[in-house]
Amino acid sequence: MDTQSGFNGILNNQQVYNPDFYNWNRIKIRYCNGSSFTGDVEEVDLTTNLHFRGARIFEAVIKHLLAKGMENAKNGILSGCSAGGLAAILNYDRFKSFLPNGARVKCVPDAGYFIHIPYVSGTKHIENFYNGVVETHGSAKYLSKSCTSKYGAGLVLLGIWVPENPASFCRNGPSSMGSVCLQGRNKHERYLL
């Protein structure tokens, strides 16, 4: 496995390519657990010897970063692409809770919502699959209660809980995620994940 990874897009450290965030602190967390960092099962699967503890991984990484100086952050962005975008959406409230009161914290997912339509055969395979992921990983306790009560935990983990009115969502964001507008810069006091 590579020990270093290149930063592109909003992670790029060159002003010409990334004028808004080139001088922010940047941390890349490799996606490694299959549940968007929401799993938390104490028992180890005896058959596979797998640990389903993505939520603990996320918390350990954030606590490590806090000890390295993120505890003084005045601004923070939690971002990701594809499944990482979904992880950013699902973990935004937890991420924000670790940062100082008054810090401006935003979620900027690059994708993360997945298509939920029946297969040609009419079956809802993907919904059943994600319900199984929630059950296996014990993810329900880290998912929005207001969303899971309306859509079910599997569809929330899938990223299906997008409001019926996308224009309103883009303008206001869901209440748990805040707006997605980006504001200001203050060198050495911002963290981009």
Whether 164 has a pLDDT exceeding 60, the answer reads no
Q: Give pLDDT, residue 160.
A: 62
Whether 161 has a pLDDT exceeding 70, the answer reads no
58: nearest Cα among 161, 139, 146? 139
pLDDT digits (tens, 9 = 90+) for 52-77: 999 999 999 999 999 999 999 999 99
Q: Give pLDDT, residue 185.
A: 33
DSSP-derived secondary structure letter, 82:
T
In this structure, the number of other CB atoms found within 10 A of the CB of residue 84 comes to 22
Q: Where are the domains of the chain?
A: 9-192
Q: State the chain's mean pLDDT as an integer.
A: 77
User: Buried b / exposed e across 92-128, counting CB within 10 Å, b at 16+?
Assistant: bbbbbebbeeebbbbbbbeebeeebeeeeeeeeebbe
Whether 36 has a pLDDT exceeding 80, the answer reads yes
- Label the pairing between strands 75-81 and 190-192: parallel
d(CA 54, CA 68): 21
User: Buried b / exposed e across 131-170, counting CB within 10 Å, b at 16+?
Assistant: bebbeebbbbebbbeebbeebbbbbbbbbbbeeeeeeeee
Q: Give pLDDT, residue 138.
A: 93
Whether 182 has a pLDDT exceeding 80, the answer reads no
pLDDT digits (tens, 9 = 90+) for 116-145: 667 778 777 778 888 999 999 999 988 888
CB 61 within 8 A of CB 55: no
